[in-house]
Amino acid sequence: MALNLEFGELRLSRFIKSCWRRGRNGSGAWMALALVATTMRVLRYVSRRKPRIVHKRQLLPGQSVRIDHLQRKQSGTR
């Protein structure tokens, strides 16, 4: 699946570069397509999931970590 994502990004990147090149040569339709594709790429980058850090602490030698998984309530809310 990651390989498909890489090929998709490569194709999208080549497509956007091609659109920008054709748009700079005077084609308004290609320039509009380049703007839309670039905007979509930026929005996808900005809206990607970011890891959530719940607790952070430095361990000293001899200390250990215990991780517990708490069950979520089944009421449908997060």
Q: Which domain holds residue 15?
A: 2-46
Please report whether residue 61 resides in a domain: no
17 in a domain, yes or no?
A: yes
pTM over 0.85: no
Q: Domain count of the chain? A: 1
Model pLDDT, residue 1? 46
Q: What is the pLDDT of residue 4?
A: 53
In a domain, 71, yes or no: no
Q: Would you say residue 61 has pLDDT above 90?
A: yes
Burial per residue of 21-49, b for 16 or more beta-carbon CB atoms within 10 angstroms, e otherwise = eebeeeeeebbebbeebeeeeeeeeeeee
User: Does 52 map to a domain?
Assistant: no
Residue 9 covered by a domain: yes
User: Would you say residue 65 lies in a domain?
Assistant: no
Is residue 60, in this structure, part of any structural domain at all?
no
